[in-house]
């Protein structure tokens, strides 16, 4: 097989191995968050930050959940990073947003955060803070899920089919799962544009 065929086969295999029961549990947490008037905060860096921004749009517009991503405000993000440090940037942003027990924090990450390896310490500190506050924690991550998988109420781990493609597959499937979530009948509150055009 050539590379394109191999990559597509890996993608199909990931689809087959996604844990549907865990996805349904995440839907339920999001429904509960909306019912109690909670907000959703989506955290991600790199490609996952781009997915976070897309998620904010869809959760706000399609599901009616008040949703935010700290990375959408580059001025505040860089000011906090410059003045207080990268590791605390998301925690400080959540504190400034008055995170509370009605809210949910969603992490999009390839590794899920790991303090020992100094990978995404900003995610770890944010999740530690969310645990203290009593917010729901959900995640869509790759590999073993890292710290996110350890502390989340529900965590979807994108199966690793080829260790050389963990990052592209994880970030691609974050988008697939996010679109599944906002389209789910329990969450979808507004018809999407092209589906409403006859």
pLDDT over 90 (residue 87)? yes
Supply the pLDDT for residue 196: 83
Q: What is the DSSP string of 45-114?
A: -THHHHHHHHHHHHIIIII---EE-GGG-HHHHHHHHHHH-STTHHHHHHHHTT--TT-EEEEEESS--B
CA gap 114, 98 in Å, rounded: 25
Supply the pLDDT for residue 125: 98
Mean pLDDT of the chain: 97
Q: How confident is residue 193, by pLDDT bands cut at 50, 70 and 90?
A: confident
Residue with tokens 């590794």: 111
Contact predicate 156/33, CB 8 Å: no
Supply the pLDDT for residue 192: 87
pLDDT over 90 (residue 97)? yes
* Rg of the chain (C-alpha set): 17
pLDDT tens for each residue of 17-65: 999 999 999 999 999 999 999 999 999 999 999 999 999 999 999 999 9
- The mean pLDDT of 99-105, rounded to a whole number, is 98
pLDDT tens for each residue of 135-178: 999 999 999 999 999 999 999 999 999 999 999 999 999 999 99
pLDDT over 90 (residue 195)? no
- The mean pLDDT of 93-98, rounded to a whole number, is 98
Q: What is the pTM of this model?
A: 0.96
The percentage of residues in the chain with a pLDDT greater than 90, rounded to a whole number, is 94
Supply the pLDDT for residue 82: 96
CA gap 146, 115 in Å, rounded: 9
Which domains does the chain show, CATH number per domain?
Answer: 38-186 (3.40.50.10490)
The DSSP element (H or E) to which 91 belongs, if any, is helix 89-96
Can you read off the two tokens belonging to residue 175? Answer: 């988008």
């Amino acid at each position: 097989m050539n590379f394109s065929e191999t990559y597509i086969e890996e993608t199909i295999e990931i689809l087959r191995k996604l844990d549907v029961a865990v996805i349904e549990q995440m839907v339920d947490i999001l429904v509960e968050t909306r019912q109690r008037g909670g907000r959703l905060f989506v955290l991600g860096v790199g490609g996952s930050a781009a997915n976070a921004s897309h998620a904010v749009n869809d959760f706000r517009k399609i599901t009616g959940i008040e949703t935010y991503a700290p990375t959408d405000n580059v001025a505040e993000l860089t000011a906090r990073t410059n003045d207080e440090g990268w590791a605390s940037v998301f925690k400080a942003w959540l504190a400034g947003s008055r995170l509370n027990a009605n809210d949910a924090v969603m992490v999009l990450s390839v590794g899920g955060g790991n303090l020992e390896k100094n990978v995404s310490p900003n995610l770890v500190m944010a999740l530690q803070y969310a645990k203290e506050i009593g917010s729901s924690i959900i995640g869509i991550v790759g590999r073993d899920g890292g710290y996110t998988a350890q502390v989340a109420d529900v965590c979807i781990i994108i199966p690793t089919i080829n260790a050389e493609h963990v990052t592209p597959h994880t970030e691609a499937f974050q988008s697939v799962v996010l679109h599944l979530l906002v389209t789910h009948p329990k969450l979808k509150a507004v018809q999407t544009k092209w589906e409403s055009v006859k």
